[in-house]
Amino acid sequence: MGRKQKRRAARRAKQPGRAAATTVDLAAGSRSRSVAPSSELINSVRPSTGGPRRRQVAAPKATDGSGAEAARDSGAAALDVDDGTPSRGPSALEVTRVGCEELRDADPQALGLSYTFRAPSSGAAGPVTVQFDGVHRSSTAGAPDTFTTHDVIDPVLPNAGPITLTHRVENIPSGEWDVTASIVAGPADLRRASSVTASGRTGYAPVVSAKAPGTRLGSWPGLVGLGAVVALGLQSALVLRSGLPMVAVLSTSLLACLVGLVGARVYYLVEHRDRPRTGPARWTGMCLQGFVLAAMATMIIGSVVGEVPVLAVLDLSAPALVIGAGIGRLGCWFGGCCAGRPTASRWGLWSSDRRLGMRRVPAQLIEASAAAGIGLAAATVAWSARPAPVGALFVATLAAYVLARQLVFPLRSLPRNTRYGRAAIIVASAVAVAVAGGLLVV
């Protein structure tokens, strides 16, 4: 080495910035960490419990404190570095908790298990089978209480990010359980190191069946109720401006809301009559179509009985109905119903249908946005002037919303039961929008 090279090396060794770049501070409580530029990130394992992230990094080249490197090549053993930041890991298991003390031990009991893993980054879409093995805490060698159950996710899309499977186990003894979850069938890189354990107790089955990561218990009835309040308020403002009798219209609307709930339930049972209705599932399920049909029929009958112009009332009710439905769709998003199809696209949003939490097409949000736009446009027309001919605004508003719903249906994860009905409804609603909208403009 020449003199110039020696002097240049000595100057580099004395520079504090370069010395710091080749040191790693692993002292307790220290949060500083810098690794030599030649070190490479080997692996990243993030715990499931939201605790500190532990990362496997290649060991840096050791220094003597002055920046001079000791003999250590870049292929040295990895160090487990804790950077103290919470993160969601590639595999995790969580037991559903029932917070209400009064319901915790109520019958029937069930055990909710949420297993999270990260989808493979490459390969073809295919099924993944998860196995759950449970042992009751009070089990003895002579009389063990155990269970083994499987659940299949089909398909798992590559590069879809974190996926959470929520599985419920029923007809088991109540109390504390130790559970192990692992992937037993699927891509090899998922099966390796996929086994995780967790402990927890059973809970009230209807609550356990409704809770899952990514959902909010009570959000659906809360936001549907908020939508009804907003709809009644908007309708009242439009009715007051039009000069129609407020008391008669409002009382009919309140009755229509109650009858609409019954219609939504009946419509759901008829449309899903082939599905088993056992356990907590027997009390769940409503359809917006049933609500609209029952509520509109009640509004028509109530208006006739109260001697109020029927078509005028429907014109002023349509904007409120659509805006209220849009707010209720937000309850579907947070409650985990009407979920969108799984997608690996970056514009997909992570959401859950109470069984599978994954990146999905945000079908509920798309429909809510469409309802808000249609409702605001109709409300503007109703507020600006009395629509003529009477009834055209109701037909145009309802047909536009039906058309938007039919376009959103293919984005949902559950297929429709009809083969040709959707195409016929799209054509009919589009024609109705064109005709009624043309009458309003002329």
More confident residue, 189 or 208: 208
More confident residue, 7 or 244: 244
- The pLDDT of residue 416 is 67
Compute the distance between CA of residue 413 and CA of residue 121 in angstroms, rounded to an integer. 22
Compute the distance between CA of residue 162 and CA of residue 352 in angstroms, rounded to an integer. 12
Compute the distance between CA of residue 322 and CA of residue 374 in angstroms, rounded to an integer. 7
**321 pLDDT above the threshold of 90:** yes
3-class SS shares of the chain: helix, strand, coil, % to 5: 45, 20, 35
Using the Cα atoms of residue 376, residue 382, residue 385 and residue 391 in order, give the sign of their dihedral. Answer: positive
At 277, the pLDDT band (50, 70, 90 cuts) reads low
Mean pLDDT over 63-76 rounds to 35
Compute the mean pLDDT over every residue in the chain, rounded to the nearest whole number: 79
**10 pLDDT above the threshold of 70:** no
The CA-atom distances, in angstroms, between 125 and each of 114, 154, 160, 195, 361 are: 22, 8, 10, 22, 17
Ordered structural domains, the chain, with CATH = 91-210 (2.60.40.10), 219-441 (no CATH)
- The pLDDT of residue 101 is 74
- The pLDDT of residue 55 is 38
- The pLDDT of residue 20 is 38
More confident residue, 174 or 374: 374
| pTM given for the model | 0.74
**251 pLDDT above the threshold of 50:** yes
Mean pLDDT over 122-127 rounds to 86
Mean pLDDT over 404-425 rounds to 84
Which of 57-66, 273-282, 416-425 is predicted with the least confidence, judged by mean pLDDT? 57-66
- The pLDDT of residue 236 is 94
At 191, the pLDDT band (50, 70, 90 cuts) reads confident
- Which DSSP string do the residues of 94-112 spell out, in sequence order? EE-----HHHHTPSSEEEE
**278 pLDDT above the threshold of 80:** no
**386 pLDDT above the threshold of 50:** yes
Say if residues 350 and 426 touch (Cβ distance below 8 Å). Answer: no
Mean pLDDT over 273-281 rounds to 61
More confident residue, 275 or 404: 404
pLDDT (tens digit per residue) in 106-116: 888 999 999 99
- The pLDDT of residue 279 is 56
Q: Which of 352, 356, 92, 96 is CA-nearest to residue 211?
A: 96
- The pLDDT of residue 188 is 76
Helices then strands, each counted (H, E), the chain: 12, 13
- The pLDDT of residue 282 is 60
The CA-atom distances, in angstroms, between 328 and each of 292, 341, 394 are: 13, 20, 20
More confident residue, 395 or 268: 395
